[in-house]
Amino acid sequence: MQIVPDARVHPFEVATHLRCGLERRHPGPHVDLVRELDDASRGEVWACRREGRAPTGVAILPDCPADNGLPGGDNDACTLYRCHPGGHSFQCADPEYEALRTGPVYARLAASIHGRLAATDRTAVAGDRI
């Protein structure tokens, strides 16, 4: 399967660990981002596959134009493709991130960071996220 015809691509620029970015219970095939293109106006390369199967093809799809509308640095753009089914990426929980964030390693890291901040006379507020 050719990812981008006639393009010289370093193998590490193509994602091989595929994980669907769409909502958990979405209709149709899983769609996984496999490569960002140098020219964002062209879109990105997405692999199409069925549950438990290898990708059956790829498509270059334009980016979703949606964002969460929050001001300043809190504004998040949707990282999916235009006209995707279901919610936007900023509306969906990431199960891998949530498992890491609520796990013991994260808790130890957060405690260490807050301890160092407190030791340097910076304000560390209990419950702050890192």
Q: What is the pLDDT of residue 14?
A: 65
Q: What is the pLDDT of residue 3?
A: 46
Closest CA to 116 of 124, 125, 108: 124
- Encoding tokens for residue 116? 């160092």
pLDDT score of 4:
47
- The stretch 54-64 carries a mean pLDDT of 89
- Return the pLDDT at 61: 93
Q: What would the pLDDT profile of 76-100 be if each residue is shown by its tens digit?
A: 889 899 999 888 888 887 766 677 7
pTM of the model: 0.61
Average pLDDT across the chain, whole number: 77
Confidence of residue 111 (pLDDT cuts 50, 70, 90): confident
Quote the pLDDT of residue 64.
93
Given a cut of 90, whether residue 15 has pLDDT beyond it is: no
Q: What is the DSSP string of 11-67?
A: GGGS--S----S-TT-SS-EEEEEEE-SSGGG-EEEEEE-TTS---EEEEEPBP--B
Check residue 81 and give its pLDDT. Answer: 92
